[in-house]
């Protein structure tokens, strides 16, 4: 501690030496920053913003090319003196995990912050601050973000928005009074703008300041919500409505004004700290003003200018968020690189797998872009730019979303390790979630970007119209504009960026230039077509904003990478690679977004999305029955399930056993349609059965209504009363046969119960799912009669919890590489088990374990001995079985997750499960059999998220109307509903097929698990975004759902592995078909039928007509959607065949391609499921039929689009080259164990 503070003191001394010496002018940046947010009319002409001019079709490169040199050598040396002390502060003084756990910061840590001067970085030296420029501060913020985002906000809320108002708008007296307190006086500042009813609509604040009759003070009344640092601040930059007289008309009206309010003023108080998802050490509180007297001299800026002040404070500070998150992303990349270079799976290091290389490359590239934007905006501000507001907004949107992507992918790469608190990644993810909401919600900023730019473009069009009235006097403008338009329309001329970039980036510059021309032409056409009405076209405005963001990011990385080459930086080659792949990806996104803006299909599509959203808002999708506990629930359950069990057994006896593979997806891989498991939508339940299921839903819903998920999470599990109720109701043995005391619930009924528990608590869903879906499922599927009679009654109603024990510290997803070993005794009576299992759900509570271990097995044919996995039923009472403490996880805290140890455990030979050496098969089939349940469970979670979002959207008023009326909110709600509908459709389809006796469902089950787990993550995340700050608070319940959902993409088969499983299993099936065809050609006369059938099919594929026809399977309103699905199937099948012919067995190593094929397969199955289900609804005339048709149509449009893109990426040479580039980037990252480039200021 002393050593670190000593370094801080040295840095501060250097600061004073430099500021008062010859470096004063180059080290302080406050004058430039003040100019940046208080422009004069002369400074505003001409506007130098690249993005702003982009909307008008003008290329303004002054703030883009060349990349700004953010710091002079003197400035670099000055800030360098602070870097080592700052790093040591975060490594030796600050404890991020402790701050997060206690939601506080120790006094010694706060003192160290003050001692180093870190809380006054922007404040000039004459007021005691460091006087850093924006670019200098970025470097320090990167360091803080790389260690602790909570602390970054703790300090950042004070040093940027907390003090900036006084720094930028304060009078000399205000600065002299307050800035010394805020820089060295150990007084915190806070920014108090948001109110309970305003959110992003800052102009609608209701807090009011009334000037006293004596004119000496204002009386302030109102409250502010979610004030970062509000609990520790003593000075608040506060905004309130004041009565202002219009000087031209004399009319009085309310306008917002800004005030400096001290906590010591009578009537100022704060509420308790908010309980939040993340940034917990930042004390977020509500602030109350009750007749608070604020002296008139504490008015900040001019009366009535509060909105301008608030916006400019936020604009001038937004780049700082990107700086923090750039540091966070760097750490995430480093942690991921370290893991994949050391972790061995399937006998290879993870970094050798192409799908891992792609993830790493894209993570590093997103970080590179974010860092590039941050330093570019900061550098331009330091040069005196006054036109940075759009670029700052672009930077904030991009950096917050890029960091979310990067951290999420790092967790996925680390698997279960990433979900544990010890990794630090889950804390980063929780912390960064708020960054997409505060200081301008990203959805609002997108509208700000699009509308501000379009407003500028509209003015330019009016100038041209005026010029045409006097052509002789305005010939220059007319000719320039006409030439530009002709160049765009005929596809020649237009924008040319090649002179700004190095030779290796010429193609990338052309991609950016083409994007610029497409964008500018689109803006003009939208203005001509819609005029002022464009404001209401939010579906299109969102695409405009995303295109602008992509174009600016392309320009920025082209500029920075060119600089790296020109300066001969060691990272130049890596920067070139990242710039190239980014421009390729971004230009493709721009093209897609522009096409969607113009496409008539997508105009209709957006109209459908809007209607879906309106239906949701009216119906409040996801509403559940609220009732009281009913003691008769167990009787209802048993009555229903026993009756249904009898019906199911009768069906099973009369059902013919299939002789061929009837999997819909397996057959699609070989270009054939097998409709049996998709069309028509399975319905094995009769009306009376459905009625009984309805009667079952009510009592189970009542049970969950009395259950408290928050309490269960805090306690680390359900209480004894909850467990007892679940045993008594039969919920712990839903699928066990009646003869063993179970409910004999079929898969369809299990899926419905999963929906109910998924809506209530995913943590509890894991408790009872891990127990019965995988815990004792092996005994049910593979147990002998003796094993079933002995163990199933115990786990169904005997109070014995079961667990599935497969994963080990070194195995992860590679189940075949487990090291636990069971050695058979000499007399063959028992096995001796030694080893350990990690991340076992229920591991600390379970007394019955399905355990997998290596055993020595003799091959009956060769007599050779080798190791093979065997499954065992292990009782804790055997002795030698112990467990570690519960794991500290990101979510599902209600589920006890622990490591299990086996030390010389004696297992009776009769406890072998499924036969010696068959353990791998047993494990896979247990997992396959249970995966469908995740779709039902997560469909319930999604429905609840949609309910909360719809409830908020229909009651929340922003900008004068309910937010349900905004196009961007409608699009979110519609997509959320569609994802839930697809997941639910998949889950029930698979369950119905399983109940019908089909056994070829493994590909479909894997697809449903991948889709549902990713859909739930998306839906819950979007629900939080719709609720804004409310969603980030624990009281909403959404942040808990998001934390719980995250593990579903990892456990029971990580999604990345399951994607490869889907593709490779399907390709293996398709490959066997090609071999059949090859054999047929050896004896053509005897196999003419097969040859002609195959030849005809290939002919129609290659000629582009005929092909797959699904129209006979669907209702009339869905014929066009069925054609889209059929088109996807034909493209997919043709691609599979082409890749098999090209690569043969080598396709296994083409993982860039395999992932695209998997995503295409998922989309095709999703389309097929919703077409089938919506058709069923139409034919049965269900009340929801029209709504379901809308969702099915909308889904098929987008899914077909994705399939086309993925198929193209699997075959197009440009993208294949791009994958090679990603591979090279990833290898460079792993060689460096992190990002390769330094920051643009050239400092470590």
Residues assigned a catalytic role: 1052
Taking CA atoms, 669 is separated from 598, 1136, 1169, in Å, by: 34, 7, 17
What is the distance between the alpha carbons of residues 720 and 714, in angstroms, rounded to a whole number? 15
Q: Which residue has the tokens 């010029």?
A: 467
CB of 326 within 8 A of CB of 378?
no
Q: Which residues of 423-450 are buried (b: 16+ CB within 10 A; e: fewer)?
A: bbbbbbbbbbbbbbbbbbbbbbbbbbbb
Please, is 369 exposed, middle or buried when counting C-beta atoms within 10 Å of its C-beta (0-12, 13-18, 19+)? buried
The structure tokens 């803080």 sit at 144
Asked if 791 contacts 741 with a C-beta cutoff of 8 angstroms, the reply is no
Q: How far apart are CA 366 and CA 333, in angstroms?
A: 10
b (16+ CB within 10 A) / e for 1184-1213: ebebbbbbbbbbbbbbbbbbbbbbebbbee
Alpha helices in 1117-1212 (DSSP H): 1119-1143, 1151-1179, 1185-1211
For residue 466, count other CB atoms closer than 10 A to its CB: 11
Cα–Cα distance for residue pair 1052/1030, rounded to 1 Å: 32
Q: E-assigned strands of 589-728?
A: none
Q: Which residue has the tokens 């079961």?
A: 802
- Rounded to whole angstroms, the Cα distance separating 533 from 539 reads 13
Query: Largest Cα–Cα distance of the chain, in whole Å?
Result: 109
Quick one: which H or E segment has residue 314? helix 306-342
Tokens, residue 840: 């076992």
Please choose, from the candidates 1056, 1015, 1052, the residue with its C-alpha nearest in 3D space to the C-alpha of residue 773: 1052
Which pairing describes strands 848-858 and 802-805: parallel, antiparallel, or unpaired?
A: parallel
User: What's the Cα-to-Cα distance from 996 to each of 693, 937, 992, rounded to whole Å?
Assistant: 18, 21, 6
Burial level of 262, CB count in 10 A (0-12/13-18/19+)?
middle
Task: Determine how β-strand 188-192 pairs with β-strand 233-245.
Answer: parallel
Specify the 3-state DSSP secondary structure of 997.
coil
- Helix, strand, coil % in the chain, rounded to nearest 5: 65, 10, 25
The residues near 833 (Cβ < 8 Å, ≥ 6 apart) are 820, 821, 822, 851, 853, 872, 874, 880, 902, 904, 905, 906, 907
How many beta carbons lie within 10 A of that of residue 1148, not counting itself?
A: 14
The whole-angstrom separation of Cα 730 and Cα 741 is: 9
The conformation of residue 1112, written as its DSSP 8-state character, comes to G
866: which strand partners? Answer: 857
> Among 900, 899, 934, 919, which Cα is nearest to 852's?
919
Task: Give the C-alpha separation, 636 to 143, whole Å.
Answer: 60
Q: How far apart are CA 699 and CA 631, in angstroms?
A: 8
- Contacts of 1181-1190 spanning 24+ positions with Cβ under 8 A: 1187/612, 1187/615, 1188/981, 1189/1115, 1189/1117, 1189/1118, 1190/608, 1190/611, 1190/612, 1190/615
Question: Residue 161 gets which letter from DSSP?
Answer: I
């Amino acid at each position: 501690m002393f050593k670190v503070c000593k370094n801080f003191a040295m840095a501060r001394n250097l600061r004073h030496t430099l500021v008062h010496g010859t470096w004063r002018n180059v080290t302080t940046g406050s004058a430039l920053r003040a100019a940046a947010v208080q422009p004069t009319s002369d400074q505003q002409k001409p506007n130098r913003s690249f993005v702003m001019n982009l909307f008008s079709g003008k290329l303004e490169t002054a703030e883009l090319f060349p990349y700004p040199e953010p710091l002079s050598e003197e400035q670099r040396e000055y800030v360098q003196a602070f870097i080592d002390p700052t790093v040591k502060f975060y490594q030796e003084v600050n404890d991020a995990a402790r701050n997060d756990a206690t939601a506080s910061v120790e006094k010694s840590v706060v003192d160290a912050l003050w001692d180093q001067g870190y809380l006054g970085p922007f404040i000039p030296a004459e007021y005691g601050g460091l006087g850093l420029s924006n670019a200098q501060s970025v470097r320090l913020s990167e360091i803080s973000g790389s260690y602790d985002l909570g602390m970054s906000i703790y300090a950042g809320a004070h040093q940027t928005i907390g003090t900036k108002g006084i720094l930028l708008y304060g009078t000399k007296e205000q600065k002299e009074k307050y800035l010394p307190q805020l820089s060295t006086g150990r007084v915190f500042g806070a920014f108090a703008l948001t109110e309970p009813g305003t959110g992003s609509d800052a102009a609608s604040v209701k807090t009011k300041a009334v000037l006293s009759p004596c004119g000496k003070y204002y009386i302030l009344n109102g409250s502010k919500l979610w004030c970062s640092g509000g609990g520790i601040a003593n000075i608040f930059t506060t905004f309130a409505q004041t009565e202002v007289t219009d000087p031209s008309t004399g009319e009085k009206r309310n306008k917002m004004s800004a005030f400096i309010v001290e906590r010591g003023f009578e009537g100022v108080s704060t509420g308790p700290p908010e309980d939040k998802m993340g940034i917990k050490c930042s004390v977020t509180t509500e602030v109350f003003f009750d007749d608070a007297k604020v002296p008139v001299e504490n008015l900040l800026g001019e009366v009535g200018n509060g909105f301008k002040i608030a916006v400019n404070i936020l604009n001038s500070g937004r780049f700082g968020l990107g700086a923090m998150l750039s540091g966070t992303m760097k750490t995430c990349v480093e942690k991921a690189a370290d893991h994949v270079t050391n972790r061995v799976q399937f006998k290879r290091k993870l970094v050798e797998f192409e799908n891992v290389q792609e993830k790493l490359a894209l993570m590093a590239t997103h970080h590179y872009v974010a860092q590039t934007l941050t330093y570019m905006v900061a550098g331009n501000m330091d040069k005196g730019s006054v036109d940075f507001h759009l670029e700052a907004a672009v930077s904030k949107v991009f950096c917050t979303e890029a960091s979310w992507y990067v951290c999420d992918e790092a967790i996925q790469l680390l698997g279960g390790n990433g979900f544990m608190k010890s990794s630090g990644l889950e804390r980063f993810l929780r912390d960064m979630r708020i960054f997409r909401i505060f200081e301008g919600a990203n959805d609002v900023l997108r509208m700000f970007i699009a509308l501000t730019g379009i407003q500028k473009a509209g003015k330019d069009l009016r100038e041209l119209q005026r010029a045409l009235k006097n052509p002789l006097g305005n010939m220059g403008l007319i000719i320039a504009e006409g030439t530009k338009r002709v160049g765009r329309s005929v596809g020649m001329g237009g924008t040319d960026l090649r002179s700004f970039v190095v030779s290796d980036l010429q193609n990338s510059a052309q991609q950016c230039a083409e994007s610029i021309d497409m964008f500018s032409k689109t803006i003009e056409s939208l203005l001509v077509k819609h005029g002022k009405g464009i404001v209401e076209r939010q579906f299109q405005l969102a695409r405009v904003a995303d295109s602008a963001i992509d174009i600016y990011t392309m320009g920025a990385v082209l500029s920075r990478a060119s600089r790296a080459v020109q300066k001969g930086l060691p990272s130049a080659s890596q920067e070139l690679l990242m710039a190239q792949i980014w421009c390729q990806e971004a230009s493709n996104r721009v093209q897609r977004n522009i096409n969607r803006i113009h496409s008539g299909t997508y105009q209709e599509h957006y109209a459908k999305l809007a209607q879906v959203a309106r239906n949701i808002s009216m119906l409040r999708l996801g509403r559940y029955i609220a009732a009281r506990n009913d003691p008769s629930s167990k009787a209802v359950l048993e009555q229903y399930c026993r009756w249904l069990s009898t019906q199911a057994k009768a069906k099973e006896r009369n059902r013919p056993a299939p002789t061929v593979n009837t999997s819909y997806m397996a057959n699609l891989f070989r270009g054939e349609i097998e409709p049996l498991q998709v069309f028509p939508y399975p319905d094995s339940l009769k009306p009376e059965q459905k009625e009984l299921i309805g009667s079952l839903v009510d009592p189970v819903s009542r049970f969950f209504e009395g259950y408290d998920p928050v309490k269960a999470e805090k306690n680390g599990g359900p209480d004894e009363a909850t467990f007892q109720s679940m045993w008594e109701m039969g919920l712990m043995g839903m699928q066990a046969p009646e003869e063993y005391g179970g409910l004999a619930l079929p898969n369809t009924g299990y899926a419905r119960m999963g929906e109910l528990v998924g809506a209530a608590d995913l943590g509890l869903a894991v408790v009872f799912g891990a127990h019965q879906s995988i815990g004792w499922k092996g005994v049910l599927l593979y147990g002998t009669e003796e094993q079933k009679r002995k163990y199933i009654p115990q786990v169904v109603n005997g109070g014995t919890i079961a667990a599935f024990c497969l994963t080990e510290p070194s195995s992860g997803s590679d189940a075949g590489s487990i090291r636990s070993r069971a050695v058979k005794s000499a007399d063959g009576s028992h096995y001796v088990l030694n080893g350990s299992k990690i991340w076992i759900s229920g591991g600390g509570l379970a007394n019955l374990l399905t355990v997998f271990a290596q055993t020595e097995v003799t091959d009956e044919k060769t007599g050779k001995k080798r190791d093979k996995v065997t499954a065992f039923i292990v009782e804790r009472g055997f002795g030698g079985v112990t467990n570690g403490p519960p794991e500290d996880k990101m979510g599902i805290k209600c589920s006890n997750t622990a490591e299990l140890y086996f030390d010389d455990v004696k297992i009776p030979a009769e406890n072998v499960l499924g036969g010696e050496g068959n353990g791998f098969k047993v494990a896979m089939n247990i997992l396959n059999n249970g995966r469908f349940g995740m779709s039902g469970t997560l469909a319930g979670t999604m429905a609840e998220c949609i309910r909360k979002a719809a409830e908020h959207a229909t009651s929340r008023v922003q900008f004068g109307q309910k937010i349900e009326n905004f196009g961007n909110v409608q699009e979110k709600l519609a997509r959320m509903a569609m994802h839930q509908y697809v997941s639910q459709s998949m889950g029930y389809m698979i369950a119905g097929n399983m109940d019908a006796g089909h056994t070829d469902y493994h590909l479909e089950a894997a697809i449903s698990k991948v889709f549902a787990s990713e859909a739930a993550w998306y839906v819950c995340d979007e629900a939080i975004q719709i609720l804004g700050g409310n969603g980030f608070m624990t009281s909403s319940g959404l942040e808990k759902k998001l934390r719980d959902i995250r593990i579903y993409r990892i456990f029971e088969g990580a999604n990345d592995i399951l994607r490869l499983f889907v593709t490779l299993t399907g390709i293996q099936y398709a490959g066997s078909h090609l071999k059949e065809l090859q054999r047929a050609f050896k004896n053509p006369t005897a196999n003419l039928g097969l040859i002609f059938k195959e030849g005809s099919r290939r002919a129609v594929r290659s000629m582009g007509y005929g092909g797959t026809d699904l129209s006979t399977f669907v209702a009339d309103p869905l014929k066009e959607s069925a054609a889209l699905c059929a088109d996807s199937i034909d493209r997919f099948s043709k691609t599979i065949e082409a890749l098999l012919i090209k690569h043969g067995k080598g396709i296994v190593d083409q993982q860039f391609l395999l992932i695209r094929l998997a995503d295409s397969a998922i989309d095709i199955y999703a389309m097929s499921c919703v077409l089938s289900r919506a058709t069923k609804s139409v034919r049965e005339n269900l009340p929801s039929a029209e709504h379901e048709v809308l969702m099915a149509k909308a889904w098929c449009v987008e899914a077909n689009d994705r399939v086309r893109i993925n198929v193209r990426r699997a075959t197009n040479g440009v993208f294949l080259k791009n994958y090679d580039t990603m591979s090279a980037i990833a290898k460079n990252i792993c060689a460096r164990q992190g990002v390769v480039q330094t920051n643009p200021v050239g400092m470590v």
